[in-house]
Amino acid sequence: MATPSDKPVRGFADSITRGDLDAALEVCHPDVEFLSVLAVDGKAYVGHAGIRQYFEDVTSAWDEWTVEVHRTAALPDGRVVIEMTMHARGRESGLPIAVFAAHVWSLEDGKLRRNQPFREPEQAQRAAGLSPD
């Protein structure tokens, strides 16, 4: 069951799978700073304009893009960890990929404000204080 703090995190993942920009903007703070493990050029996507650019980048690079959420964990300090696998199919190559990622999200006013992406669950868990160093 989703908690109030992990609702925007799950909502963002769901909006990416559906290709629903409006739903993504609804859960993102106007000053959101988003880093994607699979970003086309490795840049941070900043603000609602950045989220729009992210959706354009995803559409330009991938024919299919889905996010399979494995788990979320709301932390006592208000941050939320999400562990997921991103599935995509290259627009030009047609080749499928599946990449694990974890993000530690900070929220502001109940909306996504800033994330820290990781390629390994242990890295995210350590950053969130969920596992010993």
pLDDT in the model for residue 125: 83
Give the CA radius of gyration of the chain.
14
CA 78 to chain CA mean position, Å: 17
Ordered structural domains, the chain, with CATH? 7-126 (3.10.450.50)
Structure tokens of 51? Answer: 């989220």
State the Cα–Cα distance between residues 104 and 110, nearest whole angstrom. 15
Query: What are the beta bridge partners of residue 81?
Result: 73, 104
What pTM was computed for the model? 0.90
15-71, pLDDT tens digit by residue? 999 999 999 999 999 999 999 887 656 789 999 999 999 999 989 989 999 999 999
